[in-house]
Structure 1
Amino acid sequence: MGVGGSTLQSSDSVPVPPPPAPKTMANEKNVYFGTDSLKKYFDPDCQPPLPLVELPEHLNPFYHDGIRIYAKMMTMHPANNVKSMPAPALNMLESSVEPNKTNTIIEYSSGSTVISMSMIARVMHGVNDTRAFLSNKTSDAKLRLMQFFGLNITLFGGPSQPEPIDSRGGIQNARRMAMESDDIVNPNQYENDKNWQSHIRWTGPQIYKQLPEINVLCAGMGTSGTMTGLGTYFKSVKPSVMRLGVCTAPGDRVPGPRSFALMRPVEFPWKEAVDDIEEVGSSESYTLSLQLCREGLVCGPSSGFNLQGLFQMLSKRKKQGTISELAGPDGLVHCVFLCCDLPYQYISEYFQKLGTEQFPPIRNERLTKVDLHRYDEAWERVALDVLPDIYGSPRSLAQTPLHEITLKPQARVLDLRQEPDFLAWHLPGSMNVPLRSLGPGTPSPFSDPGVLEAQWVELEAVMDRLVRASELGSTHVLVVCYDGDTARVATSVLRARGVEADSVRGGHTAMKMYGIGNEAIEPVKVSQATVSVSAVPLD
């Protein structure tokens, strides 16, 4: 056996099971009707083939060497990953689930297989209890994703990719549970030949029908089911196709595939299905995945992993001058690699593997830690609408002398302006809460992130003190400031603490436009209820 340039040899041949006849004619309109619509939707025999997309020249560094590269978008299956067609779909579950008897599916899986299995068990067989056995080193994002899809999860210690025959691992635990109960099924993707044979049934024929000119096929090696099935199929229908398997580089890890050393105990006939193997690192895999995603081919790290393996093989052959040996009658080399997964559950790993320099910066990132409460347009109100709620309903607030206006018993007014401005004029019964971060010339917090950060931190401390001191209680609070924007932030802070609060849209400026506050009055002495923000700790 060889890796990275030497040819894998085997004298044994693996028979190719004849694919069954399609259940229906090609569904060109891609529409699914009737009471069994979901079953048809998940059945590859009832669907158009999954897309095969050629990489444009700027994504193909070997384009001018006569190389054409195509992505087989396995992610376009209803369950969004390659595992929907082999392990859980019509091949493994349809041969193992017994109607009216099977109640539970158990599978050891890193994520994609068992998620797909749970969906197809429900849709195809009415089995709602699918249980995932997996490594305790599984990322939090994957665990949450499995919970999202309703999976019952059991974690196991030890290697993240245990050998299938290891009695201490989750693979054999799942197998034992199924053997001990008649209503539990363990499809066991690691040992079930229906896994790799499903690619003979569906994936291989799809690719060959879409691209009969194919010269090179590339897929990753995890359980090896995908590569075993595809390699076996093309060895039968077009032996000239070069079959490239991709393994992870020693000591590195990409979600899904295994290292070449870990392939040793895999019992599928993968050695007869592969002509060559490349070993690929995680950094290159994530980089290529990111590049493909940004260009419109949305795929995950194992997809970039497969493409990098193909690039490495082509680069070696170019140096050796042997690329032409792969070409077909048209003089071109048509290469297909599998896009197996999506990037979303691995987003944090992209940043860990590639570093922040690969990603555009976030402007105003400081705001991610402040202004965290919700807003509602209904809380920002016009003065003439909200003041009657606070002071009653005089015929005309603009024409009513201030001394005739009194607060309702369960109403409070908080004025956030500086003390001199408050003393010059304020709504009757107001409580002055002057903010250090607010003055008559302060920019709006929504135009200056620094202002918003400072005001939110200060308001959090101030409002905490007021609420703890029972200054507000079960009251309706109106918040006023110079232009209304700081009061809007304060209202959000108060509402987050369960206080019914509103702000005046446009603040004191708007009230003056309505004629409120234009009345010439003597300066009003601040009542004892006035709160000085200087007395409020801000840490």
Structure 2
Amino acid sequence: MANSSSNERNVYFGSDSLKKYFDPDCQPPLPLVELPEYLNPYYHDGVRIYAKMMTMHPANNVKAMPALNMLETSVVPNQTNRIIEYSSGSTVISMSMIARVMHGIDDTRAFLSNKTSDAKLKLMQFFGLDITLFGGPSQPEPTDHRGGIQSAHRQAKESDAIVNPNQYENDDNWQAHIRWTGPQIFKQLPEINVLCAGIGTSGTMTGLGTYFKSVKPSVTRLGVCTAAGDRVPGPRSYALLRPVEFPWKEAVDTIEEVGSAHSYTLSLRLCREGLVCGPSSGFNLQGLFQMLEKRKAAGTLGDLAGSDGVTHCVFLCCDLPYQYVGEYFQKLGPEQFPPIRNERLAKVDLHRYDESWERDALDVLPEVYGAPRSLADSHLSEITLKPQHRVIDLRKQGDFRAWHLPESINLPLSSIGPHTPSPFSDPAVLEAQWVELEQIFRDGRLVSDLGSHHVLVVCYDGDTARVATSVLRAKGLEADSVRGGFHALQMFGIGNEGPAVPTKVPGPVPATVSVSAVPLD
């Protein structure tokens, strides 16, 4: 593997460019970012806090390096064709990408709890993972033969072509952080005094704690567990660490327990301030805050400082927040989130629009009536509707009777009038009109009869007709609207003839029909 110092430009060339892109030895170190004073409540106590952005790896999470290390030692070239891993998300997603990029293996299978969120399941499907769900605890003990961890282990034994890296028992998991993450941090911040990481499979904490014990024993190693009875994606409670076989106890000096509310709150704040990270990152930072606060209260905070009199603390940002967005809204109160204005529109006006469906009158009317382009010079009573065309007028019955395009059909909407605001300026109007239009065109007979025709929709100002056209198009009809509606027709000198001459409407349909329209033919 190459040395990252040889790739200062952070560019990856050649047929193996993706392999280099995923290889930490070919990359600059992942960013280490100091929290500004307003995010660090202990700044004036001589504490500096830095986020190690593990999210900036190509796989976007802290599990990428263990996945890389485990697959490197377990995949057998020209023999392994399937990877199986019990994982709640980050580890197996990283494995799927790394298996493809580094080893040409497309078949990665995720075993996981049936309590996994729908968002996370869809994320795994997005990355091409074959998923098998298991009942029981969401974080089963690694040795429980009833759970998915041991099931994956048994399946791998059945074939030499299947590899189960088993992050829970594979020492290459935690040793990846001795190989890469620890040396990166130490090179970036040799002044480091405190290291903070969450404990899940315990691989991250075991690796980092073991590394710093050897290179700088003065570093205080803080492990963070979830508070009893609570849950944060990734880390475990202290009780659930009992069966974990990695030497994590020798890798930590102190432990803090953190709840989900603080974790999600801090993660949300970090994201909004520019450090985009998931709840386990806020979890780590909260654990660090708790330890610092206890030290400050006990008067021992200064004991952590280095020779420069400053306490340099590093916590890990482990993954991204997007797969957990729904959980932020569940865990935190509505006061944490700005309101959605015009939220009533989220359930209406759901169909697409297209500029080509909104037509200028002088362009579309000749297509519908076969009349000369200058309709203003023609008497409308002298033109007739072309076959396979229909004109629907949404105006009030009285306005329709006073004047309308020849052979048009009136479907008056109760939600509009000559002075009704545009639906695109008043959400209440749009909501009322869309609901009414959906109800009208829910009539299967009406839609079926219109289906063989090109439909032109007219209203007062064109905007309601534009909404109606969207509804009709969503139902598979060929429909257009007149831009500017009746007002535009008047501007072109069309519709100024005074009272309309009675026109013959094809079939038995009267010039004005009710919402429960009869067939058009």
Q: What is the aligned partner in structure 2 of residue 5 from structure 1?
A: none
Matched ranges for 1:403-422 at <5 A: 403-422=381-400
Q: What is the aligned partner in structure 2 of residue 34 from structure 1?
A: 14
Change (3 A) 1:383 1:218: same
**Structure 2 residue 325 is matched with structure 1 residue 344:** no
SS at match of 1:367: helix
**Structure 2 residue 307 is matched with structure 1 residue 329:** yes
| Superposed CA offset, 1:163-186 (max 9, x none) | 000011000110111111100000
**8 A Cα contact 1:467 1:473, kept in partner:** no
Alpha-carbon separation, structure 1, partners of 2:209 and 2:512: 78
CA drift at 1:532: 3.9
| Superposed CA offset, 1:87-133 (max 9, x none) | x11x1101000000000000000000000000000000001100000
| 2:428 aligned residue (442, 445, 450) | 450
Change (3 A) 1:404 1:246: same
Alpha-carbon separation, structure 1, partners of 2:211 and 2:416: 73
| Superposed CA offset, 1:67-91 (max 9, x none) | 00000000000000000011x11x1
Matched ranges for 1:11-160 at <5 A: 22-23=2-3, 25-86=5-66, 88-89=67-68, 91-160=69-138
CA drift at 1:470: 3.6
| Superposed CA offset, 1:256-315 (max 9, x none) | 000000111100000110000000000000000000000000000000000000000000
Matched ranges for 1:172-191 at <5 A: 172-191=150-169
Greater shift, 385-394 or 57-66, is seen at 385-394
**Structure 2 residue 149 is matched with structure 1 residue 168:** no
| Superposed CA offset, 1:402-436 (max 9, x none) | 12211011000000001111111110000011100
Q: What is the aligned partner in structure 2 of residue 9 from structure 1?
A: none
Alpha-carbon separation, structure 1, partners of 2:219 and 2:285: 17
Give the residue type in structure 1 aligned to 2:255. I
Q: What TM-score do the two structures reach when normalised by structure 1?
A: 0.93
Q: What is the aligned partner in structure 2 of residue 372 from structure 1?
A: 350
Q: What is the aligned partner in structure 2 of residue 529 from structure 1?
A: 510
Alpha-carbon separation, structure 2, partners of 1:51 and 1:534: 63
**Structure 2 residue 192 is matched with structure 1 residue 223:** no
Structure 1: segments with no counterpart, 5+ residues: 1-20
Change (3 A) 1:43 1:518: same
Alpha-carbon separation, structure 1, partners of 2:511 and 2:135: 61
CA drift at 1:394: 1.9
Q: What is the aligned partner in structure 2 of residue 272 from structure 1?
A: 250
CA drift at 1:518: 1.9
CA drift at 1:530: 3.6
**Structure 2 residue 280 is matched with structure 1 residue 302:** yes
**8 A Cα contact 1:435 1:533, kept in partner:** no
CA drift at 1:27: 1.1
**8 A Cα contact 2:134 2:147, kept in partner:** yes
| 1:400 aligned residue (378, 385, 406) | 378
| 1:516 aligned residue (486, 489, 494) | 494
Q: What is the aligned partner in structure 2 of residue 244 from structure 1?
A: 222
Alpha-carbon separation, structure 2, partners of 1:111 and 1:209: 30
Q: What is the aligned partner in structure 2 of residue 17 from structure 1?
A: none
| Superposed CA offset, 1:302-338 (max 9, x none) | 0000000000000000000001110001100000000
Q: What is the aligned partner in structure 1 of residue 187 from structure 2?
A: 209
CA drift at 1:245: 0.2
**8 A Cα contact 1:423 1:523, kept in partner:** no
Structure 2: segments with no counterpart, 5+ residues: none
Greater shift, 49-58 or 508-517, is seen at 508-517
Alpha-carbon separation, structure 1, partners of 2:406 and 2:46: 83
Give the residue type in structure 2 aligned to 1:184. I
Q: What is the aligned partner in structure 1 of residue 263 from structure 2?
A: 285
Change (3 A) 1:58 1:23: closer
CA drift at 1:529: 2.9
Q: What is the aligned partner in structure 1 of residue 366 from structure 2?
A: 388
Q: More relative contact order in 1 or in 2 (CA 8 Å, sep 6+)? A: 1
Alpha-carbon separation, structure 2, partners of 1:163 and 1:521: 84
Change (3 A) 1:499 1:304: same
Greater shift, 334-343 or 172-181, is seen at 172-181
CA drift at 1:355: 1.9
**8 A Cα contact 2:366 2:373, kept in partner:** no
Give the residue type in structure 1 aligned to 2:39. L
**8 A Cα contact 1:105 1:131, kept in partner:** yes
**8 A Cα contact 2:451 2:476, kept in partner:** no
Alpha-carbon separation, structure 1, partners of 2:176 and 2:296: 34
Alpha-carbon separation, structure 1, partners of 2:119 and 2:461: 43
* RMSD between superposed Cα atoms in Å: 1.4
**8 A Cα contact 1:423 1:526, kept in partner:** no
**8 A Cα contact 2:440 2:516, kept in partner:** no
CA drift at 1:24: 5.7
Matched ranges for 1:419-430 at <5 A: 419-430=397-408
Alpha-carbon separation, structure 2, partners of 1:183 and 1:395: 73
Q: What TM-score do the two structures reach when normalised by structure 2?
A: 0.97
**8 A Cα contact 1:423 1:525, kept in partner:** no
CA drift at 1:526: 8.8
CA drift at 1:517: 1.3
**8 A Cα contact 2:371 2:383, kept in partner:** no
Change (3 A) 1:351 1:24: closer
Change (3 A) 1:78 1:331: same
Residues matched between the structures, number: 514
| 1:255 aligned residue (227, 233, 247) | 233
Q: What is the aligned partner in structure 2 of residue 485 from structure 1?
A: 463
| Superposed CA offset, 1:385-415 (max 9, x none) | 1111111142521111112211011000000
Q: What is the aligned partner in structure 2 of residue 10 from structure 1?
A: none
**Structure 2 residue 478 is matched with structure 1 residue 500:** yes
Alpha-carbon separation, structure 2, partners of 1:437 and 1:261: 62
CA drift at 1:356: 1.4
**8 A Cα contact 2:401 2:500, kept in partner:** no
**8 A Cα contact 2:232 2:280, kept in partner:** yes
